[in-house]
Structure 1
Amino acid sequence: MILSQLPTLGTGLGFRQPFKSDLFLNRQQVDFLEIVAEHYLDSPWHKQQELELLAAHFPIIPHAINLSLGSAEGLDVDYLRKLAALVKQLNPPWWSEHICFTQAGGVDIGHLSPLPYTQEAVEVVCRNIAEVRRWIDMPFIVENITYMVTLPGAEMTEAQFLAEIVERADCGLLLDVTNLHTNAVNHGYNIDDFLNQLPLERIVQLHFVGGHWHDGVLIDSHSQSTPVEVWQLMDKVVAQVPVKGIVLERDENLPLFSELVGELQQAREIGRSHQRWG
């Protein structure tokens, strides 16, 4: 996959229904939208209508959360069929999922769970991505997640694990800079070392937002404005990488839309300062 040929979208927003009206009042401030794919699978008529309205006014990137690329038993074909239909309907420049598992033994575990950093897990993820490609023939990027515990038996670092997957599966990377910051704080690793182990040229998109502290642990709750450390990390990455898009992912404690616009503008200026877009 020739990632450099993907279009540059700019700064986008993870669409959430509560701010739909404000979004259309501020259309010029949002370059594109990222939707949670599952909100539009088996969806009622009014959700399909909403999706058509959004797609008529913004480029749309589908972001899936329940594909479970790390499931050793393989993928849910019924789910994959529905996801493929959605992606085909939207015809996006790329689409995304997480490097994790959400199902085990046929049970949906309800959250994004980390994988052991082993060669076996790399094989599983790459095999599942190959299956996804048989259904969805569009550029695919995968995201790093946050995790509370590090699974035992690691044969490589998290960054090496991500690198091996995107290189072997020939896909792009959705680098969530908030997740990277959160994991570095909670697990005590060096962000520069992490970035040095990644194939930076494979980074297509970034996610950013703020979380909150609880009992000395930084929680990736998507509930606060973006902290200065994440802005600094974003600047560091954008300085090195010709990213195609940066997305604000706010889910909880939604502020006035003007605050979201302010964060988008700050991200846009970071891109401009490194000549990533006009």
Structure 2
Amino acid sequence: MFSHLPTLGVGLGFREPFKSDLFLNRQQVDFLEIVAEHYLDAPVQKQQELELLASHFPIIPHAINLSLGSAEGLDTDYLRKLASLIKQLNPPWWSEHICFTKAGGVDIGHLSPLPYTKEAVEVLCRNIAEVRRWVDVPLILENITYMVTLPGAQMTEAQFLTEVVERSDCGLLLDVTNLHTNAMNYAYDVHDFLQQLPWERIVQLHFVGGHWHDGILIDSHSQSTPLEVWQLMDEVVGRASVKGIVLERDENLPPFAELTEELEKAREIGRSRGRWG
């Protein structure tokens, strides 16, 4: 189904502070994931940065503000700019989140969870169909963390994710850190969750570490990857034909050598599971 997509290997979510280190360690990074919004309506300097990155690495655009779960539909102006960026980069796939970021015309500023209902599935599928009229590159969808669970669920989160990607014919960007975070905060069995997912649709993974605050695990992208996330990654890579794994570090940036150590560990997991040489 997604087997035709190229295997990219192990990549890094690009952040401007480590641009120079990135080029000094180019051989240790197979590809980059960029936050698409950083390059929409971009000044010349950012456009040049993107051209430089794209001349040295495969680039996967990762969007955060398309708001696929918005019942009022999509922002056509934003979608046109996003489609133009994706066309410019011509990636093997691109990604967004299963969430909403706008409601009633207001940008709410964060990735908000949807109720696990048939109606929410319909909204997502309708919006994704609209996106496909603008973008013909394969879309993969990411699971998010959440601070509240919405009432009225008609299915589990895993069933909801599965229903969305199967109905919309999208791939899955499985964030194993988000999965671990939610399992800790809501005390569910992560292995039961995994059993319900469509393994053949998992294309890419995200990983990183968060921090604890008042008994809640926060998905802050601020720490090195914990053991439980490495174990989850190994389990998923052992079962799914993963094409790419991305380290997504945003806060409390360590020396670049620590990032490359984590990339190498992820690369070794892929190698040991026969995903790449």
Give TM class, smaller chain.
over 0.9
SS in 2 for 1:4: coil
What is the one-letter code of the residue matched to 1:186? N
Report which stretch shifted further, 188-197 or 109-118. Answer: 188-197
Deviant stretches of 4+, over 2 Å: none
Using the size of structure 1 for normalisation, the TM-score is 0.99
SS in 2 for 1:219: strand
Counterparts in 2 of 1:1-278, with a 5 A limit? 2-278=1-277
1:166-219 Cα offsets, whole Å, 9 max, x none, are: 001001000000000000000111111111111011000000000000000000
SS in 1 for 2:252: coil
The whole-number CA distance in structure 1 between the counterparts of 2:82 and 2:187 is: 37
SS in 1 for 2:3: helix
The whole-number CA distance in structure 1 between the counterparts of 2:101 and 2:143 is: 14
What is the one-letter code of the residue matched to 1:60? I
Using the size of structure 2 for normalisation, the TM-score is 1.00
The whole-number CA distance in structure 2 between the counterparts of 1:126 and 1:187 is: 27
SS in 2 for 1:3: coil
- The alpha-carbon deviation at position 242 of structure 1 amounts to 1.2
SS in 2 for 1:204: strand
The whole-number CA distance in structure 1 between the counterparts of 2:85 and 2:4 is: 23
Aligned length: 277
The whole-number CA distance in structure 2 between the counterparts of 1:244 and 1:162 is: 19
1:85-132 Cα offsets, whole Å, 9 max, x none, are: 000000000000000000000000000000000000000000000000
SS in 2 for 1:70: coil
The whole-number CA distance in structure 2 between the counterparts of 1:200 and 1:184 is: 19
Structure 1: gaps (5+ residues) = none
What is the one-letter code of the residue matched to 2:99? C
- The alpha-carbon deviation at position 240 of structure 1 amounts to 0.4
The whole-number CA distance in structure 2 between the counterparts of 1:77 and 1:119 is: 25
The whole-number CA distance in structure 1 between the counterparts of 2:187 and 2:119 is: 26
The whole-number CA distance in structure 1 between the counterparts of 2:246 and 2:83 is: 22
1:195-254 Cα offsets, whole Å, 9 max, x none, are: 111101100000000000000000000000000000000001001011000000000000
The whole-number CA distance in structure 1 between the counterparts of 2:25 and 2:188 is: 39
The whole-number CA distance in structure 2 between the counterparts of 1:246 and 1:70 is: 25
* % identity of equivalent residues: 83
1:123-143 Cα offsets, whole Å, 9 max, x none, are: 000000000000000110000
State the Cα RMSD in Å.
Answer: 0.4
The whole-number CA distance in structure 2 between the counterparts of 1:150 and 1:211 is: 20
The whole-number CA distance in structure 1 between the counterparts of 2:188 and 2:130 is: 33
